[in-house]
Amino acid sequence: MLAHQGHACHVDSLRRLPFTVALENFCRTRVSYGARNQGESQMRVEREQPTLGVTPNPRWVFLSEVVSMTVVSRGFGGRFRRPNGEVTPPGQYVVDDFPVLTAGPTPSVTLDEWDFSIVDETGSLAAHWTWDDFLTLPTESPVVDIHCVTKWSKLRTRWEGVSVDTLLDGVESSADFVLAVADGGYTANFPLADLTGGRAWVVYGYEGEELDPEHGGPARLLVPHLYFWKSAKWIRGLMLRNEDEPGFWETLGYHNYGDPWREQRYWGD
């Protein structure tokens, strides 16, 4: 199991750093809900210090100690519509727009700063790409339906990016699980099988355009067979793991797996 080096840390003050630094800033989250302000949930996020089997670098910058933040953005909606012949998971309605749901501010990153890494279950760096390197990898253009846990679905969305199968090609590992790590302190957990076999991509294009930052640009994970929170925005790497561990939203009560066809929205579903 890959361990981590870190202090108590919190989500909305992550500085722009290489992915290897973001790995060191990752830690488990404990959440207690505080007062509600104008209808928006406020939460206090605190994180335990996990153990990490790598040597700290003095350049690494850790997250601040306390944050109070809005859980999700507001002001989105959509009317129920089910086109002829289209099948959506139970409880979903179809939208034509692309609602934005975010915890905390949108991270700011330049392409010169962006990189993507894969760390194996021993803690070793198994693969690494700069932005320019990443753009040289074979691309795919999946057209998929996406389903948000808040019950909207958007059909036949078109993306451009790199298959996770391509990214893992040549990486030797016996891991059964993956933790996706993203800017802003976000993580998402998966069985490895759910990111392979043509089921997941790291995408940087949407509908023929560069992926907008509010939708996860420069690059986000795309795992369309699971609820869309699993498709982590602002992704910076994958950590291969021998054991599963809940990610950011999973620690806040969202389902550990998130199958929309089984309505696995929250723990206990």
The per-residue pLDDT for 20 is 40
**Weakest mean pLDDT among 17-26, 78-87, 219-228:** 17-26
The per-residue pLDDT for 85 is 60
**Cβ pair 103, 43 in contact under 8 A:** no
Contacts of 138 (CB under 8 A, 6+ apart): 162, 163, 166
Cα separation, 216 vs 100, in Å, equals: 10
Peptide bond into 218 cis (omega under 30): yes
The per-residue pLDDT for 183 is 94
Average pLDDT, whole number, for the chain?
75
pLDDT, tens only, 9-56: 333 333 333 444 344 333 333 333 233 232 333 333 333 333 323 223
pLDDT, tens only, 46-65: 333 333 232 233 222 222 22
Task: Provide the CATH topology of domain 78-262.
Answer: Sulfite Oxidase; Chain A, domain 2 (3.90.420)
Cα separation, 229 vs 264, in Å, equals: 12
Cα separation, 147 vs 262, in Å, equals: 12
